[in-house]
Amino acid sequence: MRAIITASELAHELTGGAPPLLLDVRWQLSLAKAAGAPAFDGRAEYAAGHIPGAVFVDLDRELASAPGASGRHPLPDLAEFGAAMRRAGVSAGRPVVVYDGGQGWAAARAWWLLRWTGHPDVRVLDGGLPSWRGELSTRTPAPAEGDFAPAPEAVGRLDADAAAVLARTGVLLDARAGERYRGEVEPIDRVGGHIPGAVSAPTTENVGPDGRFLPAAELRDRFKALGVSEDTEVGVYCGSGVSGAHEVLALAVAGIPAALYVGSWSEWSSDPSRPVAVGADPQ
């Protein structure tokens, strides 16, 4: 099953007899509080115009639980997540397409959660809303209750201990900006740096100037250069399990399965007993 869909493919599918359910997951990491600017409001953006039929999903409230010791975007309570998805109209037998404002991170988080909890057919709109050339709507749909019941897989997710082991036995990719990996700056978490043994792999380098993913062959070459081969066990982390999901999605486009450390650096760095590496060297 493909992980992404183009805007033209989506437009065609929406005119068919069994159109996919659309989820609008517009969100962005905001440092507005420190900058004194208003915070980003995804729901307001949605209300101003969305792909017709799309249902808004709130990343902070429906795709994560409250920040705490497990990180800034811990896994949501699965019963609450299932209820939220059913309210949005998600059913196991209906394809789902998720999109965001173009960065792709929030859509990837929804994609990863739905796939990890057992939905068989979820794709991300490549390039997000900016790639859409059709009309927009301000009408809020009232979808019929879905039947989706989350059933998490035994694989695909890492905790802190498993991430530490994988950094030594496989390839653990750090999806954050290089300067955060190296510990030169840290605008959010307690300390800068990276998990010892992790490899710097900013997820922003998986897309082109238009925000769409690079071709699969180019992505495979990129990950190969980072040490990923066909038999490599791969994991990804980021700041809080959002941009890391985008890297897992890029790996899926390249045909490479990978697990996500959901707590990511926000969980890892919150515990002073965990080791921290700095500089460009993974070690």
Of the candidates 57, 110, 238, 245, the residue annotated as catalytic is 238
Instruction: Kindly write down the DSSP assignment for every residue of the chain, as one continuous string.
Output: --SEE-HHHHHHHHTSSSPPEEEE-------HHHHTPPPP-HHHHHHH-BSTT-EE--HHHHSS---BTTBSSPPPPHHHHHHHHHHTT--TTS-EEEE-SSS-HHHHHHHHHHHHTT-S-EEEETT-GGG--S--B-----PPP--------SSSEE-HHHHHHHHHHSEEEE-S-HHHHTTS--SSSSS--B-TT-EE--GGGGB-TTSPBPPHHHHHHHHHHTT--TT--EEEE-SSSSHHHHHHHHHHHTT---EEESSHHHHHTTSTTS--B-SSS--
238 is catalytic: yes
Residues designated catalytic = 238
